[in-house]
Chains A and B, each alone.
Chain A
Amino acid sequence: MVKRRPAILVLEDGRTFHGEAYGSVGETFGEAVFNTGMTGYQETLTDPSYHRQVVVQTAPHIGNTGVNGEDDESGRIWVAGYVVRDPARIGSNWRATGSLEDRLATEGVVGISGVDTRALTRHLRERGAMRVGISSVDDDPRALLARVRQSPQMVGADLSAEVTTAEPYVVEAVGEHRFTVAALDLGIKRNVPRRLAARGVTTHVLPAGSSIEELLATGADAIFLSPGPGDPATADGPVALAREALGRRVPLFGICFGSQILGRALGFGTYKLGYGHRGINQPVLDRVTGKVEVTSHNHGFAVEVPGAGVGAVVPDQVIDTDFGGVRVSHVCLNDNVVEGLRAADLPAFTVQYHPEAAAGPHDADYLFDRFAELIEGRALSEGRSNA
């Protein structure tokens, strides 16, 4: 059997796990988070929202279907490190074009395997997400711990510039063109423009630093605020842009980080969750329909609504903001976290989770229809009559 190099994983509180090198040999640091998805490792690895994070996969077998040319959510792997229990020795799938481990090695992703990932996950659940280091070059946990404690924190991290596109690009509508959307790329996933395109939407993806004028200059009927990594409290530029858009009544849709941006633009705070939501099995209640959808999540921060403590049920009522009434449209049934906001008087709504899925269930795909309807102005009038 292939012998792997030993590797260690050290958390900032000192807890240490021993395992073997996986992917690239080296050393890496980041925020340790766990993901409970049982499928979709390729989508997870290439999701820019995981930038600077060391992802722990709770599913024990990773790499079973190899990697293919179709399932990347961006142009590269973003995770800062990868923790798995049992890496596959071969990938088996008719679409596979290579092995996951080769890809990790090629892209220089340092990982560790053979770790009791359940013990690590339980630790993160109890103590919260924290900094971590993985090393397959230094076997001294104490030295690694010192370096972990010097590595940057996630709170206060402004990462949009590191993940955004360098140049604007366009994803054309499929079939008849109906609308144009300008997407502010804070770490967008490929499946977002794809889901929009399926509804006749042409998406112009612009770099994170773009101004509202630049967005609207594309001829956009609406603005999309993308998901992405980092602490929303640092995103002053995008928040200001969102306030502009609200003021001009430009239809607005945000996902995940984009949802936090809109929340802040409306005057709400954001806070860091203990260990975040990362998985594809999260139950979210849509308060408009009263139905539950099983959804894909990847967020470490959330919007704080005045009057509702963390973990408390958010009342289903209109909250006054600078931009009129706002309702919490979606909540996570596991822990009552705010999962969606909807402006009552303006054409704007967001969700904290991932209707574009990839990975994950397609239950929330209808939100792209809502966006299209919003652009058409229909939902706006309905929203008013509901208010």
Chain B
Amino acid sequence: MPKRTDLKHILVIGSGPIVIGQACEFDYSGTQACRVLRSEGIRVSLVNSNPATIMTDPEFADATYVEPITPEFVELVIAKERPDAILATLGGQTALNTAVALHEAGVLEKYGVELIGANIDAINRGEDRQLFKEIVAKAGVRLGVDDPAGLVPRSRVCHSMDEVEATVAELGLPVVIRPSFTMGGLGSGMAHTPEDLARIAGDGLSASPVHEVLIEESVLGWKEYELELMRDRHDNVVVVCSIENIDPMGVHTGDSVTVAPAMTLTDREYQHLRDLGIAVLREVGVDTGGCNIQFAVNPADGRIVVIEMNPRVSRSSALASKATGFPIAKIAAKLAIGYTLDEIPNDITLKTPAAFEPALDYVVVKIPRFAFEKFPGADPELTTTMKSVGEAMSLGRNFTEALNKAMRSMETKEAGFWTVPDPAGATRENTLAALRVPHDGRLYTVERALRLGASIAEVTTASGGIDPWFLDQIAALVELRAEIVDAPVLDAELLRQAKRAGLSDRQLAALRPELAAEDGVRTLRHRLDVRPVYKTVDTCAAEFEATTPYHYSSYDSETEVVPSDRPKVLILGSGPNRIGQGIEFDYSCVHAVQALRAAGYETVMVNCNPETVSTDYDTADRLYFEPLTFEDVLEVWHAEDSSGRAAGGPGVVGVVVQLGGQTPLGLAQRLKNAGVPVVGTSPESIHLAEERGAFGAVLARAGLRAPAHGMATSYDEAKTIADEIGYPVLVRPSYVLGGRGMEIVYDDPTLRDYIGRATDISPDHPVLVDRFLDDAIEIDVDALCDADGEVYVGGVMEHIEEAGIHSGDSSCALPPITLAGSHLAEVRRYTEAIARGVGVRGLLNVQYALKDDVLYVLEANPRASRTVPFVSKATAVPLAKAAARIALGATIAELRAEGLLPATGDGGTMPADAPIAVKEAVLPFKRFRTRSGKGIDSLLGPEMKSTGEVMGIDTNFGHAFAKSQSAAYGSLPTGGKIFVSVANRDKRGMIFPIKRLADLGFEIVATTGTAEVLRRHGIACEQIRKHYQAGEGDDAVSLILGGDVALVINTPQGSGASARSDGYEIRSAAVTADIPCITTVPGAAAAVMGIEARIRGDMQVRPLQDLHATLRAAQ
């Protein structure tokens, strides 16, 4: 059944910004889809608002629309492009929901567009809880199982709180609450008490676009499994991968530690799951493509319950693809255009077909990465609502090897068992008690409980059902630990045994203090010739020869690294996504691979993030799925370098550390010291930029201004500095990314409190105290610098919010919208001086503040920044590619001559008619709740909290800003009520924007003080009391929660840190009600322009290829 010939043009819908529950796995899947479709000669149009994706690089589609993924904008794209079909199953829930909305609005029918890869009925059957329950029962009947009704938890769909309460009266507590049609389990939770029930079900009803929740029998503590299936249009079905959650039911699978393949199923049980999965898939009617089904298995009697299915490519399918080497998204795209599984060759063996089920001869472990430290007050208990922001995966030849590798891939304070001391006062009893609440790092608690004498049975009980087999594996590590601690010497045999169990040099160093730390262990290990070998992920457990060098390390006997005499470059990725280090860095790494491949190098990617494009085995020439620790990277380098030299080649000629964010940058000096050829900006130069004193000297030499500052290791020192430079001050630890621990401090008590909380302060890690520039314009610059000291300014971004909000969280415009030519000249002069002064060889990001016409340097980072993809897309220049080439010795002049960079000019001086690109951050506040169940504060500050970003691009700022808001948060309102409550100091600045909104027909509701000022300016407004003011009728919070408000404008009161929390109730209500909330004056002004643009109703869409052609022509 070959491919359909009637599909000549397909529109692919991406997934938009990175949010919790929907991350860069959809860039991986969408990029694969675009590649596949184009290689089949099909015209591909693409909609995705996320500029940090590889898929939105212009070469991946024929027409790339960086536009909001809303029915409104996608319809504009359809009207313009007139595709034959839409492929929406590779863009997560966002794409699927948009496709359903387009269908329901009649748009697909109107334009004669076919939905391929899924049909609307199947989507509804898969996602509608009640329908799905019936389907599972039907599938059970067809299979002839004894109790088909028992294949789903007893449950009922409810549309009101009354229905919810009646249902719970029948089922009894605890119950699980699951809202319909939300992604990543948003709004779902487990209710143990009537109070929980009222809160979670209430939120769930409002989170569900159809106001529907499922109340369901609890299967808490059951074993949890997932199957990834694929079906073609000839009804061939294969199971690509089984995944077992170590955390039993009750923790969202995205937040669970998971293992592939399933470890604790007999064949009989596994085949039962497989039969059920296939029967459900057929019954749901997923015609072609990938699908994920989740099961719960009662550990006491084996009863199987089908939990849910996703009729699309998912986060789990990205994991399954990386875990098995079976590229689900790629195959799904081929199936969507009509191929059958037996017609598609297996990528890795090339000789066998994709119609098979991968066999693994290794174990895969995935561990989620959380960011609770970013959201003080948020409840860190893990529940059925996903809260993790990223994940790392690792492969090993056994479970403990994979587990230990995954644990050290997390880059948290703990780098695997025993690397940090036990909490003070830890006992067997209190450790067992701590296991009862699922939490981040629970396996550390498990290990401690076992080490302190708890039995496996006790830990199974305390943890609510972690399978004894996994616990015994950890118990074996505890025994091994004792052996290592007790051994007279660490001999080759014991060392080998420890390495086979996956222990790192650092872990061993913690157990053997006499070995002079990690370096000592490594020296000993190398002397005893205990080194890893590299095995291959081949889909078939070595049954057939693999052609794809996709490797992982193991302490086994035979290595499979194929010697090559080509010059090799290692590119170090960025590890698990976290707030402050996400897809943007992966984008830059992938670009480095592309550029260096094209320049004739053999590219070797090292990374441990399964969601990314960089870890697609199709991206680099060789892929090492390894933790980004010094030890693991050094061994990869050694394996590649020595095999390359043995083959008569130059081996590894460079290791690129600049593009993966802080993670690889942090390894630079140690790698260089170990003889690894780190290319690009030297570790010494990196230090120059990151070490405050050295950087101050660089600035002083060039005569550049910076805010007054100092460094402190105690409160007294900090106070002395603050007194000298004056409050407010910005305080932060040195060497951080994403503004971790950064705060603006207005007075002595708060400063004392901050220093008291900053536990890691030491002379090596002082606190930086900077004068904070109030009301300054913040400017971000990305630039390139080569060995000749020539500088290419990639782009100058003007922040919309004033300085003080982390650059990752603020929106910005490129080209800058208010800066004068003289400002830009000054920015260029400063940037060139810094680049040369530091000695940058590649990318440099500088942040400036412009206050009273004076430019101050806030900080400089000699690496790829988060804004590189945005700048590259807004200016049509691939900065990361250029940076990679510069690192390997190319000059800017050469790159200009080659055409990689424009022949003349740069991004610092954009043509007058250049389109305006607006970047907007996307924030995850909706995901979190305090322990008492309230929303958390959405106020922005110097600590980064956003998970992703979008780009809006258009001919003027208003339109571009409106698009950015539609893409990030849902569209700005064009009418209705606006609630306003602003701080006294902001009242003056707010008058204009609010008046304009009133003139545009909005109804204004304001708190007393704000209302008075507005009325004096002739703005009619309704007055409402604050939450804490006594009175009758609605207060501000109940008004917002009631859903009557279309937009909230609330700026924080006063200047003290405690006063800033005044608006908390208002802002958290806006988060709960899911309506836009603006917290700054410039943000309000921008919103007004956006609203005007929307009201004019003349939104247009334009492909990036078109915009870039115009820009290139102007250059």
Contact = CB atoms under 8 A, between A and B. Distances in A.
A117 interface: yes
A292 B355 contact: yes
A40 B469 contact: no
B783 interface: no
A71 B356 contact: no
Q: Which of B275, B301, B540 has the most A CB atoms < 10 Å from its CB?
A: B540
Contact of B480 (A1, A37, A279): A1
Given A61-B399, A64-B263, A90 B358 contact: no
Interface string B257-296: 0000111111111110011000000000000000000000
Q: Which of B235, B355, B540, B541 has the most A CB atoms < 10 Å from its CB?
A: B541
A58 B361 contact: yes
Nearest to A293: B236
Contacts, number: 170
Contacts of A43: 267
Nearest to A59: B361
Contacts of A358: 267-268
A336 to B, nearest CB: 10
Contacts of B472: 88-90, 92
Contacts of A85: 397-398
Contacts of A116: 556-558
B359 interface: yes
A384 B376 CA distance: 76
A117 B360 CA distance: 12
Q: Which of A38, A70, A92 has the most B CB atoms < 10 Å from its CB?
A: A38
Contacts of A75: none
A309 to B, nearest CB: 16
A119 B558 contact: yes
B1022 interface: no
A291 B558 CA distance: 39
A360 B300 contact: no
B397 A294 contact: no
Given A88-B469, A292-B342, A121 B542 contact: yes
A121 B479 CA distance: 31
Q: Which of A34, A125, A292, A294 has the most B CB atoms < 10 Å from its CB?
A: A292
A167 to B, nearest CB: 28
B469 to A, nearest CB: 4
B235 A291 contact: yes
B543 A125 contact: yes
A275 to B, nearest CB: 8
A59 B397 CA distance: 9
B493 to A, nearest CB: 11
Interface in B838-884: none
A290 B480 CA distance: 53
A11 interface: no
A121 B361 contact: yes
Interface string A115-149: 01111011001000000000000000000000000
A39 B265 contact: yes
A283 B301 CA distance: 32
Nearest to B234: A291
Given A40-B267, A116-B557, A117-B361, A283 B541 contact: no
A85 B398 CA distance: 8
Given A85-B397, A283-B353, A118 B542 contact: yes
Interface in B466-507: 467-469, 472, 476, 479-480, 483
Contacts of B267: 37, 39-40, 42-43, 71, 280, 358-360
Contacts of B200: none
Contacts of B47: none
A122 B467 contact: no
Interface string B555-574: 01110000000000000000
A88 B263 CA distance: 11
A291 B266 contact: no
Given A116-B558, A283-B355, A333-B356, A357 B271 contact: yes
A262 interface: no
Contacts of B535: 118
Contacts of B397: 60, 85-86, 118
A36 B543 contact: yes
Contact of B302 (A36, A94, A281): A94
Contacts of B270: 39
Contacts of A283: 342, 352-353, 355-356
Contact of A279 (B261, B299, B359, B479): B359
A36 B541 contact: yes
A281 B358 contact: yes
Interface in A39-56: 39-40, 42-43
B399 A281 contact: no
B352 A294 contact: no
A263 B476 CA distance: 51
Interface in B706-757: none
A43 B269 CA distance: 13
Contacts of A357: 271
Nearest to B482: A1
Contacts of A94: 299-302
A59 B541 contact: yes
B962 interface: no
Interface residues of A, number: 55
A95 interface: yes
A281 B359 contact: yes
B360 to A, nearest CB: 6
Contact of A71 (B261, B266, B360, B540): B266
B543 A17 contact: no
Contact of A36 (B301, B483, B540): B540
A159 interface: no
B696 to A, nearest CB: 54
A194 interface: no
Nearest to B535: A118
A291 B479 contact: no
Given A38-B360, A61-B398, A85-B398, A95 B302 contact: yes
B557 A1 contact: no
A282 B239 CA distance: 12
A272 interface: no
A20 to B, nearest CB: 11
A147 to B, nearest CB: 23
Nearest to B302: A94
Interface string B393-432: 0000111000000000000000000000000000000000
Interface string A331-365: 00111000000000000000000000111111000
Given A1-B476, A118-B397, A281-B356, A64 B264 contact: yes
Contacts of A360: 267, 271
Contact of A65 (B234, B236, B266): B266
Given A116-B557, A118-B361, A283-B342, A95 B266 contact: yes
B557 A362 contact: no
A317 interface: no
Contacts of B356: 281-283, 294, 333-334
A93 B359 contact: no
Contacts of B545: 125
A71 B558 CA distance: 35
Given A40-B267, A65-B264, A362-B271, A294 B476 contact: no
28 contacts: A17-B557, A36-B540, A36-B543, A37-B359, A38-B359, A38-B360, A40-B266, A59-B359, A59-B360, A60-B361, A61-B263, A93-B265, A94-B301, A116-B557, A119-B556, A119-B557, A121-B543, A122-B542, A125-B543, A279-B359, A280-B267, A282-B356, A283-B342, A290-B234, A292-B234, A292-B341, A360-B267, A362-B271
Given A93-B269, A119-B557, A334-B356, 4 more contacts: A59-B359, A64-B263, A292-B234, A360-B271
Interface of B: 234-236, 238-239, 242, 261-271, 274-275, 299-302, 340-342, 351-353, 355-363, 397-399, 456, 467-469, 472, 476, 479-480, 483, 535, 540-545, 556-558
A-B pairs with lowest CB-CB distance, top 3: A40-B267, A119-B558, A58-B541
